[in-house]
Amino acid sequence: MMCLKLHQKSGMTMVELVVATVMISVIMLGTISATYALKNFGNSTSSDAFLAMETAAMVLQIEQTALKAIGDITDPGLVITDNFATTQGKSLCIRTEIVDPPTPGNYTDDQWVCYWQSNAQPEIYRCLRTAAQGSGLCTGTASDTEIGNSLPRGYDVGDPTLSGFTFSFTPQQIYLDLSIATRLDPTKIKSRDNPEYTIQTRIYPQGQGGA
């Protein structure tokens, strides 16, 4: 009697092949999506960290200068100039002592340190002025030092006079309120790729005398 040996076919059916293809595609899509999300998260975190450090550095520099302001209630040594009508913009000038030993009652030998921003540009500059020159807007020349960027005048559609570099002080109590708001690109609107960061602080100058 002859026996036929049957060979069992091995391999995948068409249905199994389609199912396997779909599963591999899903896994690959998930991997790509996760990689893209992690990359975006890393870029966003780096941008936020950079923006926070840049803003903090600007605030710290102005704060350290303001703490050294020399003056009294009648002449606090803090002067704010705001020329919205021109491109000169606004400035904060702080009178500081530069001679040793100090002469608290004599303001004629002091120095003014001014921080200013024009109406048209986001850059904040620092300049030095002598006691004879007095407080005022910087000239915008090469001798001015750029310390960072802030939102330019008009960034807020609701208030065209508002900029990201704001400050005010109360002569009676002699403290300075300082706020700096900026974006990764101050000239563009706020978005996920262009985050915004703001620091606000109140500064009490240590070199203020009585009336």
Query: Tens digit of pLDDT for each residue in 13-36?
Result: 766 666 667 677 667 665 555 445
Digit-coded pLDDT (tens) for 170-184 = 766 678 889 998 888
Q: What does the pLDDT read at residue 41?
A: 44
Model confidence pTM above 0.85? no
Whether residue 77 is predicted with pLDDT greater than 60 in this model: the reply is yes
Checking if the pLDDT of 188 tops 50, the result is: yes
C-alpha distances out from residue 115 to 107, 178, 184, 197, Å = 20, 12, 21, 20
Span 201-209, average pLDDT: 77
Domain boundaries, the chain: 48-208
